[in-house]
């Protein structure tokens, strides 16, 4: 809202707003082939995108991405000092037009950030059926990760599960195969022990075993905004990004960036600096300016870059 208001006060008109955010692992603790560790509710990660088609608008054309294709349509970006990222669409972007006062904007898009390669491999999880939460598997408490995986591969008594998975992924997808192997899908000695479980619940158990933050790990929150606007016959672009590293496993970046703004608002209410009644969003200057200022003092701030395009 700060950037949108600044553009409007200058006399500009926002043409495009794209926003991406991701909870990831800090680079120095990124030590697995998925380049990811849980910093949020694992179940939400497993079920991401299953609430219906993700929708957005681009150059006045409405776009819809069904779940089965969600992790195959990606945006790519690089942040100096932090490397490459990819983003996939995050649910309904259209409802944010009214929230931000951009009802007639030609392009608005919200996305989730991951490291390159994650989404393509996750899409294979979807293709296999491992993320399905709509039914329960027979004798699920007795299934090992290997048996769980094999339940979704074709029957062939002459081929190993390793060969069948390689054929499903594609014989050239060695890196993707290694991601599945690293998660422990071929292990056959440790039943997951969850009765009446859906595939998604069993997949979550496998992932939590391998992708949880280890002792001493720190997480990383990355947010990236891309604005295009017109002013006096010229087109400008503003890129704004924030990268924050967690303090430890209690004061993670995810908990800080979610919790501190709420705490600052609560303090402002108690001290009489916020007098608005009812449920409020931080869309007004008198709310977001002091929040951003105090967050900056706490090490959470954005860097902005403005470019003239035409």
Whether 11 has a pLDDT exceeding 80, the answer reads yes
Overall domain count for the chain:
2
Among the candidates 207, 236, 254, a domain finishes at 207
Say yes or no: 242 and 300 in one domain.
yes
Say yes or no: 193 and 299 in one domain.
no
Say yes or no: 185 and 233 in one domain.
no
Say yes or no: 148 and 259 in one domain.
no
Give the residue ranges of DSSP H helices in the chain: 2-10, 42-46, 96-99, 118-128, 145-150, 161-169, 174-182, 199-211, 253-270, 285-297
Tell me the pairing of strands 303-308 and 61-65. unpaired
Helix H or strand E encompassing 47: none
Whether 172 has a pLDDT exceeding 80, the answer reads no
Q: How far apart are CA 99 and CA 199, in angstroms?
A: 36
Q: What is the pLDDT of residues 78-134, one digit of tens each?
A: 998 999 999 999 999 999 999 999 999 999 999 999 999 999 999 999 999 999 999
Q: How far apart are CA 282 and CA 172, in angstroms?
A: 48
Q: Report the predicted TM-score, pTM, of the whole model to 2 decimal places.
A: 0.93
Q: How far apart are CA 57 and CA 109, in angstroms?
A: 7
Q: Residue 160 half-sphere exposure, CB side, CA atoms within 13 Å?
A: 5
Q: What is the pLDDT of residues 208-224, one digit of tens each?
A: 999 999 999 999 999 99
Q: How far apart are CA 12 and CA 232, in angstroms?
A: 8
Say yes or no: 200 and 284 in one domain.
no
Using 50, 70 and 90 to split pLDDT, how confident is the model at 171? confident
Domain around 185 = 121-207
Say yes or no: 131 and 219 in one domain.
no
Among the candidates 182, 207, 232, a domain finishes at 207
Q: How far apart are CA 217 and CA 30, in angstroms?
A: 9
Among the candidates 164, 184, 207, a domain finishes at 207
Q: How far apart are CA 117 and CA 204, in angstroms?
A: 19
Q: What is the pLDDT of residues 229-247, one digit of tens each?
A: 999 999 999 999 999 999 9
For 216-234, letters b (16+ CB in 10 Å) and e give: ebbbbbbbbbbbbbbeeee
Residue 51 burial (10 A CB sphere; 0-12, 13-18, 19+): exposed
Say yes or no: 107 and 226 in one domain.
yes
* Strand, helix or coil for residue 181: helix
Q: What is the mean pLDDT of residues 154-181?
A: 93
Say yes or no: 116 and 246 in one domain.
yes
């Amino acid at each position: 809202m700060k950037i949108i208001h600044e553009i409007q006060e200058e006399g500009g008109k926002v043409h495009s707003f794209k926003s991406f955010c991701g909870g990831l692992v800090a680079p120095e603790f990124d030590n697995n082939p998925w380049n990811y560790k849980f910093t949020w509710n694992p179940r939400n990660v497993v079920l991401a995108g299953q609430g219906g088609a993700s929708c957005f608008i681009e150059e006045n054309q409405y776009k819809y991405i069904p779940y089965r294709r969600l992790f195959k349509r990606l945006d790519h970006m690089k942040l100096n000092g932090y490397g490459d990222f990819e983003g996939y669409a995050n649910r309904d972007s259209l409802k944010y037009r009214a929230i931000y006062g951009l009802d007639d904007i030609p392009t608005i898009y919200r996305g989730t950030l991951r490291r390159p390669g994650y989404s393509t491999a996750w899409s294979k999880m979807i293709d296999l059926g491992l993320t399905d939460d709509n039914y329960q598997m027979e004798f699920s408490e007795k299934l090992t990760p290997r048996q769980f995986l094999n339940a979704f591969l074709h029957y062939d008594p002459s081929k190993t599960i390793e060969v069948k998975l390689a054929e499903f992924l594609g014989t050239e997808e060695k890196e993707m195969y290694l991601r599945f192997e690293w998660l422990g899908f071929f292990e056959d000695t440790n039943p997951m022990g969850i009765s009446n479980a859906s595939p998604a619940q069993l997949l979550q158990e496998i992932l939590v075993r391998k992708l949880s933050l280890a002792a001493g790990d720190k997480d990383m929150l990355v947010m990236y905004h891309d604005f295009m606007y017109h002013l006096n016959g010229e087109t400008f672009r503003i890129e704004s990004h924030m990268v924050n590293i967690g303090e430890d496993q209690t004061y993670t970046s995810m908990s800080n960036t979610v919790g501190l703004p709420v705490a600052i608002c609560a303090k402002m209410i108690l001290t009489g600096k916020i007098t608005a009644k009812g449920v409020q969003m931080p869309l007004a200057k008198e709310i977001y300016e002091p929040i951003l200022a105090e967050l900056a003092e706490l090490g959470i701030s954005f860097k902005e870059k403005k470019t003239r395009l035409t």
